[in-house]
Amino acid sequence: MYRHRVQYYETDRMGITHHSNYIRWMEEARADFLEKKGWPYERIEEEGIISPVISVDCRYKKPTTFADEVDIEVSVLEFNGVKLKIGYVMKLGEETVCEGESMHCFLNKEGKPVKLSKVLPDFHDMFQNSIEKG
Q: Give the Cβ contact number of residue 85 at 10 Å.
A: 18
Which residues 6+ apart lie within 8 Å of 51 measured at CB? 44, 84, 104, 105, 106, 107
The C-alpha atoms of residue 35 and residue 129 are separated, in whole angstroms, by: 16
| SS3 assignment, position 95 | strand
- Whether 12 is catalytic is yes
Contact 15, 65 (CB under 8 A): yes
Instruction: Choose the catalytic residue: 12, 57, 122, 125.
Output: 12
The C-alpha atoms of residue 75 and residue 16 are separated, in whole angstroms, by: 26
- Active-site positions read 12
